[in-house]
Amino acid sequence: MANPNLASSSNCYANNASVSLTSTSPTQLVSNAASSGKVFVLDAITVANIDTNNAVNVTVTFYRTADNSGTAYELASTVSVPANSAVIVVDKAQGVTLLEAQSIYVTAGAASKLKVNASWKELS
């Protein structure tokens, strides 16, 4: 796992991912593979609660591995997302960056109630 040198970066691609959290197990949102030669600069992570009556908790976790092994570093821990609302967990002002072999996972407090959207730039 190397930290890519962006001084010679020639590519910048926009990317996004959306996941429905259908269980209360950690679900991968974004992963930067080992030896990808890329850096991901996250612009946004938004969590929407589609339940019309109840708030649902969410935890968004950063890992220094491409999977959810090792130490978890919470970007948001057990945050209540109000019914029929959304919470912005990451925006451009935070500057969250994924180097090679790093990832973001999301865990819902209730199954099939939360939808998560992420957008980022891939630099290589």
Whether 4 maps to a domain, the answer reads no
At residue 6's C-alpha, the angle toward residues 16 and 44, to 5°, is: 25
Q: Which domain holds residue 26?
A: 13-123
Q: What is the pLDDT of residues 30-57, one digit of tens each?
A: 999 999 999 999 999 999 999 999 999 9
Q: Are 44 and 90 in contact (CB under 8 A)?
A: yes
Whether 1 maps to a domain, the answer reads no
Q: Can you list the positions of beta strands (E) in the chain? A: 12-21, 27-32, 39-49, 56-63, 72-81, 86-90, 97-98, 102-108, 114-123
Contacts of residue 24, Cβ cutoff 8 Å, sequence gap at least 6? 107, 108, 109, 110, 111
Whether 92 maps to a domain, the answer reads yes
Provide the CATH number for the domain around residue 59.
2.60.120.340
Q: What is the pLDDT of residues 53-98, one digit of tens each?
A: 999 999 999 999 999 999 999 999 999 999 999 999 999 998 799 9
Whether 5 maps to a domain, the answer reads no
Q: What is the pLDDT of residues 8-17, one digit of tens each?
A: 778 999 999 9
pLDDT at 1: 53
The residue assigned the tokens 């990317």 is 15
Strand partners, 107: 59
Domain count, the chain: 1
For 62, the token pair is: 């950063």
Whether 18 maps to a domain, the answer reads yes
